[in-house]
């Protein structure tokens, strides 16, 4: 995945290479690449080659990177560091960071629309799902719930903010392959829940380098997390229950087995970074 992301160029004629530099600075800052890895593993679970879905897998990581850049902005979480390096706006200025995020989202769609091989009708369905998962009823809506600090259920907030893009990493590949995503929905949404619970635990117990942000960052921001709501022990119990549910839902969705998705599900539960 790293090789694929590293080869991506966005500026056609070099005129906007400075904008591309800011986009690539954040895109290539490392990270676990959970979302594209899920997309590739889904292709394999369907008997396809992982390489066949590289464009949409990369596009999902572009979208994730855009969300991190905008979340870090002074008007949002106001974070100076991410993965031990200055955040995009600290490095390039706030104006360039806003535009780098905007551009990553546009280029994610362009990448899929120009490079992803698929039946056009399936491509449309996959992209419609991805647009929905990242708009008002998905990622951006969840971020709005977070900053607007309304009296909203924590699971509901994270289902939108984090869960829908995690789920879409799997669902968009199913749709792209002309498959019904419905039987996979319980697995996809549970995986999003599991990911967020573990993320909240790691915010308290993890290290800066591993987390990609300051430990206790969410706590410092006064954010409501699974740990702040249920305590560290409570959150760990919830993670264990969620992991079991996710494994069971995966077994129901893929009765013939999906070894790579099983492994990633376990990794999301047990990861210490």
Measured from the CB atom, the residue of 60 and 268 that comes closer to its own copies is 60
| Binding of its own copies by 75 (CB under 8 A) | yes
The 3 state secondary structure assigned to the chain is CHHHHHHCCCCCCCCCHHHHHHHHHHHCCCCCCHHHHHHHHHHHHCCCCHHHHHHHHHHHHHHHHHHHHHHHCCCCCCCCEECCEECHHHHHCHHHHHHHHHHHHHHHHHHHHHHCCCCHHHHHHHHHHHHHHHCCCCHHHHHHHHHHCCCCCHHHHHHHHHHHHHHHHHHHHHHHCCCCCHHHHHHHHHHHHHHHHHHHHHHHHCCHHHHCCCCCHHHHCCCCCHHHHHHHHHHHHHHHHHHHHHHHHHHHHCCCCCHHHHHHHHHHHHCCC
Task: Name the one range near its own copies by CB under 8 A: 79-87, 109-117, 163-171, 219-227.
Answer: 109-117
**Under the criterion CB under 8 A, does residue 173 sit at the interface with its own copies?**
no
Asked if 96 touches its own copies (CB under 8 A), the answer is yes
Nearest to 130 by CA among 89, 99, 71, 174: 174
Assess 13 for contact with its own copies (CB under 8 A).
yes
Beta-ladder partners of 86: 81
By CB under 8 A, is residue 151 in contact with its own copies? Answer: no
Nearer to its own copies, 76 or 81 (CB): 76
Choice from 61, 72, 107, 199 touching its own copies (CB under 8 A): 107
CB of 187 to its own copies, least distance (A): 22
Whichever of 106 and 252 has its CB closer to its own copies, that residue is 106
Among 3, 7, 12, 233, binds its own copies (CB under 8 A): 12
Question: Applying CB under 8 A, does 6 fall inside the site for its own copies?
Answer: no
Please report whether residue 46 would count as binding its own copies according to CB under 8 A: no
Task: Compute how many residues bind its own copies; rule: CB under 8 A.
Answer: 55
Separation between Cα atoms, residue 68 and residue 33, nearest integer Å: 13
- Of residues 93, 234, 257, 259, which one binds its own copies by CB under 8 A? 93
Q: Does 15 sit near its own copies (CB under 8 A)?
A: yes
Does the protein bind its own copies through residue 7 (CB under 8 A)? no
Chain residues in the site for its own copies (CB under 8 A): 10-13, 15-16, 18-20, 23, 70, 73, 75-76, 93-96, 98-99, 101-103, 105-107, 109-110, 113-114, 119-121, 123-124, 127-128, 131-132, 134-138, 140-141, 143-145, 147-148, 150, 152, 156, 160
């Amino acid at each position: 995945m790293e090789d694929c992301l590293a080869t991506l160029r966005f500026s056609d004629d070099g005129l906007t290479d400075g904008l591309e530099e800011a986009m690539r600075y954040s895109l290539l800052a490392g990270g676990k690449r959970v979302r594209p890895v899920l997309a590739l593993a889904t292709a394999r679970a369907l008997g396809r080659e992982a390489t066949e879905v590289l464009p949409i897998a990369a596009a999902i990581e572009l979208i994730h990177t855009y969300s991190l850049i905008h979340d870090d902005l002074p008007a949002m979480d106001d974070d100076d560091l991410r993965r031990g390096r200055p955040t995009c706006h600290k490095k390039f200025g706030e104006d360039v960071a806003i535009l780098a995020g905007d551009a990553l989202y546009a280029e994610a769609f362009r990448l899929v629309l120009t490079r992803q091989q698929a039946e056009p009708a399936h491509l449309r369905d996959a992209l419609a799902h991805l647009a929905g998962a990242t708009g008002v009823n998905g990622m951006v809506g969840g971020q709005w719930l977070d900053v607007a600090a309304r009296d909203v259920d924590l699971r509901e907030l994270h289902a939108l903010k984090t869960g829908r893009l995690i789920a879409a990493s799997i669902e968009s590949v199913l749709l792209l392959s002309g498959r019904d995503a419905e039987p996979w929905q319980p697995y996809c949404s549970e995986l999003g829940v599991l990911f967020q619970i573990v993320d909240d635990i790691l915010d308290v117990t993890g290290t800066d380098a591993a987390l990609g942000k300051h430990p206790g960052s969410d706590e410092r921001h006064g954010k409501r997390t699974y740990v702040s709501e249920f305590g560290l022990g409570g959150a760990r119990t919830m993670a264990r229950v969620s992991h079991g549910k996710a494994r069971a839902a995966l077994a129901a969705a893929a009765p013939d087995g999906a070894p790579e998705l099983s492994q990633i599900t376990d990794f999301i539960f047990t990861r210490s970074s």
